[in-house]
Amino acid sequence: MNEPALLAPVTPRTAVRPHLVADQVSAWFGDHQVLEDITLTVHNSTVTALIGPSGCGKSTFLRILNRMHEMVPGASLAGRVLLDGEDIYERRVRPTDVRRTVGMVFQKANPFPAMSIADNVVAGLLITGRKTADKDALIERSLRRAGLWKEVENRLRTPAGTLSGGQQQRLCIARALAVDPEVLLMDEPCSALDPTSTRRVEETISEISHEVSVVIVTHNMQQAARVSQRCAFFLAEDGEPGRIVEQGQTYGVFNSPTDPRTADYVAGRFG
Amino acid sequence: MTAPTARRRRTDRWNADTVSQLVAAGVGAVSLTWVLSARVLPIGRVAEAALFGMVTFVVLYGVCVASSDSWFAARDRVAAALFTIAGLLLFAALVAVVSFTAVRGYQAVLHINFWTETTATTGPADPLTKGGVLAALVGTLEQVGIAALVSVPLGLATAVYLNEVGGRLARTVRTVIDAMSAVPGIVAGLFVFAVAVLTLGYSRSGLAAAIALAIEMLPVVTRTGEVVLRLVPEPLREAAYALGSTQWQTVRKVVLPTARTGLVTAVLLGVARVIGETAPVLLTSGFTAELNADPAHGPQVSLPLFIFTEVRFPLDHAISRAFGAALVLLTVVIVLFTAARLLGRKKLS
């Protein structure tokens, strides 16, 4: 299988601007520091991959970006997260508004079992009690964007639990897209999927990245190389909190890393 | 393509060997029990003979299996036999209770007047063609209905608080609820009698009985509800929050619908706990033979209280009426539970 991202540099997109900026972010669970001084810029219409070994704080960082971090008892943080220049941790900003703008897809597919496929797609509206002009159109559009429409268009009223694992994950992507987020955070979205479903999800990521900025955590180097334009390598060494060792264009990080630890990791020599 | 001659192999537990071991042990146990109980040992009664037979069966079954298989297999199969017997005994007890009630009560229930009349003008010695349980049926439905109206919303709200909100106070609440669940019905009845009737001066009524029942029902609904809510996977809550929902929206639209069938079980267990209560109703409502559809004023009889009253008469017809009322109570329980299960079944929009 050839991997174009490894062979040729990605052509820079036009009108790229900083969309979501993490500025000197640190994080703790109780007294245990898990992240230190993370500064990272997510550009609009770009896929940013977060790579690194398990336990280096990638998922924690991802959850800081949409204020899910604070749901964990004892969790705290320092630094700022700027969405279009505005700090989402300002006192007057409501977490629910942040999460509506910065959507999330989880490692394990988690459709709502008490809802049909169609209701799952518009769950964001049903739960928060918002109306939409044309629900059916929104359902179809979201499912098409997630690459699931063809497979489920004849059984929209059946429970979501009847779908396969890969379909459920794409349903969760459709659900996240239906509330029209500006940024989509994906926490190892393919780790429980087979190769075919993984490819479908990766195609979906490529398609939506024209409209939505995507941040994806992945343990799969090939996946990071295939889907992302930018990437950041996280590492937590010997009881130290996680830090970013290297970040930049994915092509650069993978092919000419400046740090030997990055070179070892992307080459598969540890982690 | 597989060859057409492929023969399916049987992998199930039942084959000629296992069946013959079972039959051998069964025949041996029955014969031995018969010989011993009829000829040798002084065990004349059926219950003792049955117990002896079961023990003999288990021992013989173990010996049969051990002689043809191994001690290891024997241990496994004896354990399986013991658990099967335990299950059958439990089921037999249930069948015995229901069928005994049905046999003793069916004559009373067959008369139309049993459903449409009260015992206001009927004496305990009157034939079954006079009098009925209408007053008691109305009383039970009203009292349990009011108790459920009070304790189901309160209990489920407390369950949501304990599981979804939590915090330091939740532990105190949980302890109080646990203490409440240990309160016997008669104490709940005395409490309501002391507060509502003696202190506040309200008359004894169906409403007072309903409040005593609600006090008993509340901890059952709360604790069962809490356990059921704890079964809702955390990722579902996270998914709802990630879509921008508040805690209340998450509980209302995701947690409660997901736990729906379990919450129905919580309510049913609460109803089951109180629908047969006699003592608190006797204390707080008191007996009357008249039909009193107004729960707020005056004594109101319920089915358990009716049974309690009738069964104390040493007269065949009164006792028949008591068993008939018990049969009505069983029917009410079955109808309520079936309806609740149908309503609670998962429905998709």
A7 lies in a domain?
no
User: Are both B336 and B197 inside the same structural domain?
Assistant: yes
B167 lies in a domain?
yes
Please name the member of A66, A110, A128 whose beta carbon is closest to the beta carbon of B235.
A110
* Residue ranges making up the domain that contains A246: 17-266
Q: What is the pLDDT of residues B134-180, one digit of tens each?
A: 999 999 999 999 999 999 999 999 999 999 988 889 999 999 999 99
- Residues of chain A found within 8 Å of residue B240, distances taken between Cβ atoms: 112, 123, 127
DSSP calls for B18-69: HHHHHHHHHHHHHHHHHHIIIIISS--SHHHHHHHHHHHHHHHHHHHHHHHS
CB-CB under 8 Å, A104 with B245: no
Q: What SS3 class is residue A20? A: strand
Q: Is the pLDDT of residue A75 over 80?
A: yes
Q: Is the pLDDT of residue A4 over 60?
A: no
Q: Residue A6 — pLDDT band, cuts 50, 70, 90?
A: very low
B122 lies in a domain?
no
- Residues of chain A found within 8 Å of residue B238, distances taken between Cβ atoms: 68, 71, 106, 110
Distance from the Cα of A178 to chain B's closest Cα (Å) equals 9
| Partners of residue A217 on adjacent β-strands | A50, A187
Q: What is the pLDDT of residues B220-238, one digit of tens each?
A: 999 999 999 999 999 999 9
User: What would the mean pLDDT of A68-95 be, rounded to a whole number?
Assistant: 91
Distance from the Cα of A258 to chain B's closest Cα (Å) equals 36
- We report the CATH number of the domain holding residue B316 as 1.10.3720.10
**Can you give the pLDDT at residue B3?**
60
Interface probe, candidates A128, A163, A215, chain B, greatest B C-beta count within 10 A: A128
Please name the member of A113, A127, A157 whose beta carbon is closest to the beta carbon of B240.
A127
User: Are both B142 and B185 inside the same structural domain?
Assistant: yes
Question: CB of A216 within 8 A of CB of A47?
Answer: yes
- Residues of chain A found within 8 Å of residue B231, distances taken between Cβ atoms: none
User: Are both B299 and B223 inside the same structural domain?
Assistant: yes
Tell me whether B231 touches chain A (CB under 8 Å): no
B233 lies in a domain?
yes
- Residues of chain B found within 8 Å of residue A126, distances taken between Cβ atoms: 253
Token reading at B300? 């109101």
User: Are both B75 and B172 inside the same structural domain?
Assistant: no
Domain boundary, last residue among B104, B119, B151: B104
CB-CB under 8 Å, B250 with A106: no
For residues B186 and B195, what is the distance between their CA atoms, to the nearest angstrom? 14
The A residues from 45 to 64 touching B (CB cutoff 8 Å) are: none
Q: What SS3 class is residue A176? A: helix
* Residue ranges making up the domain that contains B49: 16-104
User: Are both B291 and B190 inside the same structural domain?
Assistant: yes
**Can you give the pLDDT at residue B346?**
58
A45 lies in a domain?
yes
B110 lies in a domain?
no
A5 lies in a domain?
no
User: What would the mean pLDDT of A166-193 be, rounded to a whole number?
Assistant: 91
User: What would the mean pLDDT of A123-133 be, rounded to a whole number?
Assistant: 87
Classify residue A95 by burial, with Cβ atoms within 10 Å: 0-12, 13-18, 19+: middle
User: Are both B289 and B153 inside the same structural domain?
Assistant: yes
Q: What is the pLDDT of residues A154-165, one digit of tens each?
A: 999 999 988 988
The ipTM of this complex is: 0.88
User: Are both B260 and B165 inside the same structural domain?
Assistant: yes
A8 lies in a domain?
no
B114 lies in a domain?
no
Q: Residue A239 — pLDDT band, cuts 50, 70, 90?
A: confident
Q: Is the pLDDT of residue A228 over 60?
A: yes
A114 lies in a domain?
yes
For residues B94 and B48, what is the distance between their CA atoms, to the nearest angstrom? 20
Q: Residue A116 — pLDDT band, cuts 50, 70, 90?
A: very high
Tell me whether B343 touches chain A (CB under 8 Å): no
B109 lies in a domain?
no
B10 lies in a domain?
no
Rounded average pLDDT per 10-residue block, chain B, 349 residues: 73 81 91 83 76 90 88 90 94 94 89 85 82 90 95 95 90 93 90 89 88 94 95 94 93 93 92 91 87 86 93 89 93 90 67
Distance from the Cα of A119 to chain B's closest Cα (Å) equals 8
A271 lies in a domain?
no
Token reading at A71? 């749901």
User: Are both B216 and B315 inside the same structural domain?
Assistant: yes
For residues A18 and A86, what is the distance between their CA atoms, to the nearest angstrom? 12
**Can you give the pLDDT at residue B347?**
56
User: Are both B157 and B284 inside the same structural domain?
Assistant: yes
Return mean pLDDT, chain A: 88
Please name the member of A97, A104, A114 whose beta carbon is closest to the beta carbon of B242.
A104
A29 lies in a domain?
yes
B182 lies in a domain?
yes
- Residues of chain A found within 8 Å of residue B258, distances taken between Cβ atoms: 112-114
Tell me whether A97 touches chain B (CB under 8 Å): yes
A:B CB pairs within 8 Å: 84
- Residues of chain A found within 8 Å of residue B245, distances taken between Cβ atoms: 96, 124, 127-128
Count: domains in chain A: 1
Q: Residue A1 — pLDDT band, cuts 50, 70, 90?
A: very low
Q: Which residues contact A232 (CB under 8 A, 6 or more apart)?
A: A40, A48, A49, A50, A51, A244, A246, A247
| Partners of residue A82 on adjacent β-strands | A21, A87
CB-CB under 8 Å, B243 with A123: yes
- We report the CATH number of the domain holding residue A70 as 3.40.50.300
Count: domains in chain B: 2
Sign of CA dihedral A210, A213, A216, A221: positive
A21 CB-side CA count, 13 A: 11
Q: Which residue has the higher pLDDT, A183 or B123?
A: A183
Tell me whether B243 touches chain A (CB under 8 Å): yes
Distance from the Cα of A232 to chain B's closest Cα (Å) equals 23
Interface probe, candidates B243, B246, B252, B261, chain A, greatest A C-beta count within 10 A: B243
User: Are both B179 and B88 inside the same structural domain?
Assistant: no
User: Are both B178 and B269 inside the same structural domain?
Assistant: yes
**Can you give the pLDDT at residue A14?**
52
User: Are both B168 and B317 inside the same structural domain?
Assistant: yes
